[in-house]
A and B are shown apart, each in its own frame.
Chain A
Amino acid sequence: MDEELLLMRNITKNFPGVQALKNVNLTLRKGEVHALIGENGAGKSTLMKILSGVYQKDGGSIVWEGKELELHSPMQATNAGTSIIYQELNLMPNMSVAENIFIGRERKKHRFILNEKDTILEAERYIHEVGLNIDVRTKVEELSIAKRQMVEVAKALSVRAKLIVMDEPTSSLTDREIAILMDVIRRLRTQGVTVVFISHKLSEVFEISDRVTVLRDGECIDTLVTKDCDESQLIQMMVGRPLTDIFPKSEVPIGDTLLEVRNLCAGKLVKDVSFELKKGEILGFAGLVGAGRSEVMRAVFGVDRLTSGKIIIDGQTLRYHRPSESIKKGLGFMPEDRKLQGLILGMAVRENTTLASLGEISNACIINSKKEREVSLNYIEKLSIKTTGIEQKVNNLSGGNQQKVVIAKWLAIKPKVLILDEPTRGIDVGAKKEIYALMGKLAAEGVGIIMISSELPEVIGMSDRIVVMHEGCVRGTLDRKEASQEAIMNIILRENMRKV
């Protein structure tokens, strides 16, 4: 039981501008369930991606069953005996359960011909082992998320994995399904398989894990035996860090209500959401990934259809709920994925900056090129976008500068309300600071700003008020004075405690 399966020593990983992991140590024993917890961006996923060979470590060593291991590709990690089940499952929905289990390792006869009988028989054995009772010929798309997860586990068993990593496996499961998954994990433990269990739900951590490791800001805080610690201790370890002065939040007089959202419902992830935003206010939206924050903003802006609710901007109720209408009313929306949703990568900086405000620089639908150049030059200077010129294609810019181009596009419409969804994701510290400064400046000019962020320090540092969302609902609103990571995590985690 105490025999060590894996030792990760002094693991370091740098991304451009960020040190994602700083000398992280992790020891996994054979047949234990080891929980890995921490905030978004604490380094859990990065660590696991190094373990699975997706990323290469910059420093440190990995010892697997007593032998030093250099991982260069996911294939090597799989061959060694690790298996990772990601949040977004890696199954082919159009293929059967059995085919999925043996994908890439198809059972064959005579070298080229698939052996269907063996495939089905073996698949049935593994499916049985995880306690699932389904026909292995069923197509994966017909299964619930929970069952798909079990299929992933069965697939891991079929490669005789000694270590199975589950990245937030319960995030999209119902309570009953979670119970089944817990049973499977216990069964794996008795078979001597080591399980790494990544979760935000402390209740589950207490229920299932033998030991728990807490990561924060890319550092390993500590590894404890689960039954020897309590919840508040873990929360403190997860968030306990002083706020640095990188958030230049200036006190701005808060004015009248600019945006009012009432009883908004849209899709599956937005349930009866109401909030309001005032002039000069920065309203933070906190919550876990998948809490429905982006979905709320997409519905407010009119990208996604809303099923019910009312949106009032500066006294005017939106009627059509289309982006074009929202823009006309002075709403700007910077989506979370700048490459997929924010930019037209093949276009120049000039074209991207003016895309939402072409009406302003045109006469009778004809673009005034001189004005257009002036506008984009103006924003390049204002936001100090580093580019060779306005004709530079945006896909040649760095992440931070790309983000600034998206912001420039929305500033060009002279917005009253600006919604920023993960404005600092994937950009370096310097650019982050600039974006914070800009937000402060805009607020001072009377713009109302909504900021969604998964980085709690950022939300706390920048916001006048914080709306905490969980599972599509607003769970609470915190004032700047009462806002702290503990308070936010409490709102979210208590909710989970209550549920189980």
Chain B
Amino acid sequence: MELNGKSISNKTSILNRVKNSSSLGDIIIILVMCTLLTVAVGNKFLSIDNLISVCRQFSFYAIMAIGMCCVIITGGIDLSVGSVFAFSGVVTCMAMTDWKLSVFSSVLIGCISGLAFGFLNGLFITKLELPPFIATLGTMSIARGLSYGITGGYPIGSLPDSFKFIGLGYIANIPTPIVLMIVLAMVFSFFLRKTIAGRWVYAVGGNEEAARISGIKVDAIKILVYSLCGLMAAIAGIATAARLGVGQSTAGQGYELDAIAAVIIGGASVSGGVGNVIGPILGAAIMGILRNGLVLMSVSAYWQQAVIGVVIILAVSFDKLRNKKK
């Protein structure tokens, strides 16, 4: 009987879940922004071309932010994603042009390089007990330096079309990076919600000591999330290289802050334990739509930064105020 009651409440809860989740604030902000933009510039914003362009633009950030989200749920932070983004991009491009490897193995090598950097971050944090901020600050510099080192600063172009498909192509009329983002989001959502390791990620962020006593291998979980974060940065970096048709050692400078901002706007808490995959995607969407709106409205670049800052603070405080009211 009690079981029955539960299942009923579960069915009605989809609306409730949206209402209570931290995503509601973000969804409201996105709707408000879209409405304002439609009123202000009309079809320029609502055109399919523009909407697809916006989605493709933020999909790269969103992919990176999903990885970052896992790290932030455990109460950590990863500053190296921007550099890993660049490193994996140039490694993949070099593998194709200089080492003459196939597109598939090049992409695989690129992904492994990102994974390796994340793994390194995890080792530094768990085994050397470095604070995440410091450890990833170090690898941020290492990955960037290696990117310059192996390329000598030159961008790497003339990439095969089959590679460029990852960034420029379409699958069923949807740009590949968007498809990639959706697939990865589903995989990570499944990972966080349905698997044991995913549950442990939340537990480590919620209360590390209690997690350890409950038999959770805290160090292994931390190494896992940093590795995943590195992998996601690599995927974003490779997709961006494919989208631009060029791998550059200078790519992704400062993207770590965009990724962190997307996660926090998406409702995760820097103190850990809270967050989901939808959050960073909505966060990245807010930033993407905002940037697009500023461009469409032809706002001078000199003013844009200030507006972006105000929206970030509004987006985060919206949730806080709502929670306080509760």
Contacts and interface: CB of A to CB of B under 8 A. Distances in A.
Asked if chains A and B are in direct contact (CB within 8 A), the reply is yes
B309 interface: no
Contact of A344 (B3, B194, B210, B217): B210
Given A324-B216, A381-B2, A367 B209 contact: no
Contacts of B207: 340-341, 343-345
A132 interface: no
A320 to B, nearest CB: 11
A344 B213 contact: no
Contacts of B50: none
A500 interface: no
A343 B203 CA distance: 9
B274 A359 contact: no
A376 to B, nearest CB: 10
Contact of A303 (B195, B202, B206, B212): B212
Contact of A367 (B6, B195, B217): B195
A351 B213 contact: no
Nearest to A367: B194
Say which size band chain B's interface belongs to: 20 to 34
Nearest to B190: A366
Interface string A325-352: 0111000010100001111111100010
A351 B6 contact: no
A323 B199 contact: no
Binding site of A, secondary structure by majority: helix, strand, loop or mixed?
Answer: helix
A323 B196 CA distance: 17
A182 to B, nearest CB: 38
A345 B215 contact: no
Nearest to B207: A344
B214 A356 contact: yes
A344 B209 CA distance: 9
B210 A324 contact: no
B184 interface: no
A346 B206 contact: yes
A358 B210 contact: no
Interface string A176-194: 0000000000000000000
A432 interface: no
Contacts of A346: 206, 273-274
Contacts of A373: 3, 6
A369 B194 contact: yes
Contact of A341 (B199, B200, B209, B217): B209
B212 to A, nearest CB: 6
B274 A377 contact: no
Interface centre among A303, A323, A373, A390 (most CB of B within 10 A): A323
Contacts of B212: 303, 323
A29 interface: no
A409 interface: yes
B206 A345 contact: yes
A323 B194 contact: no
A26 interface: no
Contacts of B6: 373, 377, 389-390
Given A323-B215, A366-B194, A343 B210 contact: yes
Interface string B1-29: 01100100100000000000000000000
Nearest to B273: A346
Interface centre among B2, B6, B196, B210 (most CB of A within 10 A): B210
A1 interface: no
A346 to B, nearest CB: 5
A374 B203 contact: no
Given A324-B217, A377-B2, A381-B2, A342 B196 contact: no
Contact of B197 (A328, A365, A390): A365
A359 B194 contact: no
A351 B215 contact: no
A33 to B, nearest CB: 40
B196 A358 contact: yes
B34 interface: no
A494 B9 CA distance: 61
Contact of B3 (A323, A362, A377): A377
B213 A301 contact: yes
A303 B200 CA distance: 17
B223 to A, nearest CB: 15
Given A344-B210, A366-B195, A367-B196, A327 B215 contact: yes
B211 interface: yes
A333 B215 CA distance: 10
Interface in A356-403: 356, 358-359, 362, 365-367, 369, 373-374, 377, 381, 389-390
A341 B213 contact: yes
Given A340-B209, A377-B6, 18 more contacts: A323-B212, A323-B213, A327-B214, A333-B213, A344-B211, A347-B202, A347-B273, A355-B214, A355-B216, A365-B196, A366-B195, A367-B196, A369-B194, A373-B3, A374-B3, A377-B3, A381-B2, A409-B214
30 contacts: A301-B213, A303-B212, A323-B212, A323-B215, A324-B216, A324-B217, A327-B215, A340-B207, A340-B209, A341-B207, A341-B210, A343-B207, A344-B202, A344-B206, A344-B207, A345-B206, A346-B273, A347-B202, A347-B203, A351-B202, A355-B199, A355-B214, A355-B216, A356-B215, A358-B200, A365-B195, A365-B197, A366-B196, A367-B199, A374-B3
Interface of A: 301, 303, 322-324, 326-328, 333, 335, 340-347, 351, 355-356, 358-359, 362, 365-367, 369, 373-374, 377, 381, 389-390, 409
Complex A-B, nearest 9 residue pairs according to Cβ-Cβ distance, in ascending order? A344-B206, A327-B215, A324-B215, A356-B214, A323-B215, A358-B196, A344-B207, A355-B214, A346-B273
